[in-house]
Amino acid sequence: MITEAHKNWFEIEKGITSETLTAFGIRSEDADWVVFPYEAGDKKRYIGPGKRKFVSKAGLKLGLYHGPLDDSKTYTFLVEGETDTMRLWQEGIKNVYGTPGLFGVDKAETDILNQYDTVYVVLDNDADYNTAAKGEKSWQKIRSLLGSKARRVSLPDNVKDIVEFFEEYSIDTFRDVVKDASSGNYHYQNLDLSVPPPPYDWLVEGLICRGDTTLLVGEPNVGKSWISLSLAVNMANGADSWLGMPMHASGKVLYIDEENPHDVVYNRLHKLGMHDFENLRYLHRQGVRLDRNFDKILDEAITYQPNMIVLDSLTRFHTRDENNAGEMAGLFNDSINVLCRETGAAVIILHHTNKSESTSSYVRTRGSSDIGAAVDCGIEARKTGANTFNLVHYKSRRTQAGGLTKVQILDTMDGKVELVTTNEAF
């Protein structure tokens, strides 16, 4: 039997009537405790002053909580907790089960739910990040157990649970929300393939395309920074070609350098003839980390709106294990590819080779093979002599790769430096 005081508490706090409490067999234990009867045993809830508490017999697996059920097996609802179960039942949906905890659904509970054609799952909207993450994990578990018959019902953001929902909305609104879940949910944007294909937006003809990631690899001191700085200077200065290849766009370059000493940077840019400094934003040893403060560099890039972004060099921008494919895939998916997508810029990533004597640039790239797999374009600088190297275009998603260009870093009579080709470019 439940006391009048407890009936009043449920009515005021949860909107649950005494008729519903009776239907579920709720009873009072003393002034501050109420009992929820499960088929496997009782669960007690403290509703007195202070924090709420729940108690059940040690080692007891409660199973699913429910009231009187309909005979229909067309659908059922799975919600969190006893009060949500009672409130939804009270609104006229009789086939409703409650789980006593986020991870309260296992094989025994699945056997019960599998009697129904469709199981609508309604989890709480939790503001706490850790609790919300647990809720998502719980949903994934439920879906793995029930398969396609499980349908997620998402409550409006302004309510935490079923009880709060019915304080703001009607049962008709709830049925509309359920209809959305019944039809399934598209979470991603479909690519419109009916429109004509767009042209490639080349920055450097046949090599560097806007919106692509390019990996420039080479052993230490081969000249990778000379290559990327030369390209940056030509882009910023508005040159019409680079290493014999036509350039179709000039403009802003965001160069993020975590490797070279500042005096080396000044001297090289001067020798390469940099003069349009408004078009070059050079971040020198600012502690940029793609796996820690990525939002800052993304904001920087979106604000500056460059045509090209250079990361010199990859190993300085993260603290992850380069030999771990999963960690490298995460680095690209969560930061580098996002940088490309959100800015539309070409992103050039400098990286080192390993000690392999293989002729394959993929094999020679240091770390996991996923680094080479993740990018759109791959170029390797292979040293051939003092101040000379070959540029091997070993990967491209847009053109046929395999070209080789011989390059020399040449000191001129006026104290400048030029990168010149000694054969036709790619």
For residues 273 and 233, the answer to whether their CB atoms sit within 8 Å is yes
The rounded radius of gyration (Å) of the Cα atoms in the chain is: 32
pLDDT tens string 96-144: 999 987 777 888 999 999 999 999 999 999 877 677 788 888 899 999 9
What pLDDT, on a 0 to 100 scale, did the predictor assign at position 251? 95
- Closest C-alpha to 393, from 382, 408, 409: 382
Which residues have C-beta within 8 Å of that of residue 132, sequence separation ≥ 6? 125, 126
Lookup: tokens for 100 = 């006593």
HEC string of 214-276 equals: EEEEECCCCCHHHHHHHHHHHHHHCCCEECCEEECCCCCEEEEECCCCHHHHHHHHHHCCCCC
Bridge partners for 311 per DSSP: 256, 349
pLDDT tens string 412-424: 999 999 999 986 5
**Which strands sit side by side in the sheet containing 253-257, from one edge to the other?**
280-284, 253-257, 308-312, 346-352, 213-218, 377-385, 388-396, 404-411, 417-421
Residue listed under structure tokens 């491209």: 396
- Closest C-alpha to 36, from 49, 47, 27: 27
Q: Return d(Cα 346, Cα 2) in angstroms, integer.
A: 69
Q: Spell out where 127-207 has E strands.
A: 150-153, 202-204
What pLDDT, on a 0 to 100 scale, did the predictor assign at position 233? 98
Q: Return d(Cα 197, Cα 191) in angstroms, integer.
A: 12
For residues 392 and 206, the answer to whether their CB atoms sit within 8 Å is no
What pLDDT, on a 0 to 100 scale, did the predictor assign at position 188? 87
What pLDDT, on a 0 to 100 scale, did the predictor assign at position 84? 97
Which residues have C-beta within 8 Å of that of residue 398, sequence separation ≥ 6? 200, 209, 212, 376, 377
Cis peptide bond prior to 56, omega within 30° of 0? no
One DSSP character per residue, 369-417 reads HHHHHH-SEEEEEEEEETTEEEEEEEEESSS----EEEEEEEE-TTS-E
CA angle centred on 151, ends 149 and 156, rounded to 5°: 170
Sign of CA pseudo-dihedral 337, 339, 340, 344:
positive
Residues in the chain where the model's pLDDT stays below 70: 129, 423-426
- Give the helix ranges, DSSP H, for 272-344: 294-304, 325-331, 337-343
Bridge partners for 284 per DSSP: 257
Which residues have C-beta within 8 Å of that of residue 135, sequence separation ≥ 6? 102, 123, 124, 126
Q: Return d(Cα 354, Cα 51) in angstroms, integer.
A: 59
Q: Return d(Cα 122, Cα 87) in angstroms, integer.
A: 13
Residues in the chain: 426
Q: Return d(Cα 406, Cα 256) in angstroms, integer.
A: 27
The values of phi and psi at residue 331, to 5°, are: -60, -45
pLDDT tens string 42-52: 999 999 898 88
